[in-house]
Amino acid sequence: MEATTQQRGIAVWIISLVAVGFGIMTLKGGGTVLFGDEAARNAAGNYVPLLLWFNFLSGFVYIAAGIGLWLRRRWARWLSVALVVAIAIAFASFGLHIYSGGAYEQRTVVAMSTRLLVWLVIAAISVMSIGRSRLHEG
């Protein structure tokens, strides 16, 4: 029983760091295009502004979720699940953009797939690893 508890603690520690790191990278990448010069926007290619803003703002939420998971807060577990839902909706709307003939970059498809997969894993681990008795209400 002790090994399982310790493994769960390590898993939460890892996903916390991944969430914060992913958030920082998301803020840096999106911020460079949104607030950078014309060269940065040109280098981004055919980006979808609404999706770019969604991803950029999500970076702050990723960091908050990572901190909450590190602190083993109940809300962080559900925030991770909500992120999966929000990313899936954004990805689906991006799919509609593509289907309707909108310009896009293939790397955005890869990035959104990666983003969804990472948050699916984080949410699954957080739901399975952070037991109700070990959560803090805060």
pLDDT in tens, 77-96: 999 999 999 999 999 999 99
pLDDT of 9 reads: 84
Domain for residue 8, yes or no? yes
Domain for residue 57, yes or no? yes
- pTM of the full predicted structure? 0.88
Summarised one tens digit per residue, pLDDT across range 1-39 is 455 666 778 999 999 999 999 999 999 999 999 999 999
Domain for residue 119, yes or no? yes
pLDDT of 4 reads: 63
Residues contacting 132, CB < 8 A, separation 6+: 74
Domain for residue 54, yes or no? yes
Domain for residue 77, yes or no? yes
Provide the domain limits for residue 121. Answer: 2-130
Number of domains in the chain: 1
Domain for residue 40, yes or no? yes
Summarised one tens digit per residue, pLDDT across range 62-80 is 999 999 999 999 999 999 9
Average pLDDT of the chain to the nearest whole number: 91
Task: Point out which residues pair with 73 in neighbouring strands.
Answer: 136
Q: Are 83 and 58 in contact (CB under 8 A)?
A: yes
How large is the average pLDDT for residues 103-123?
A: 97
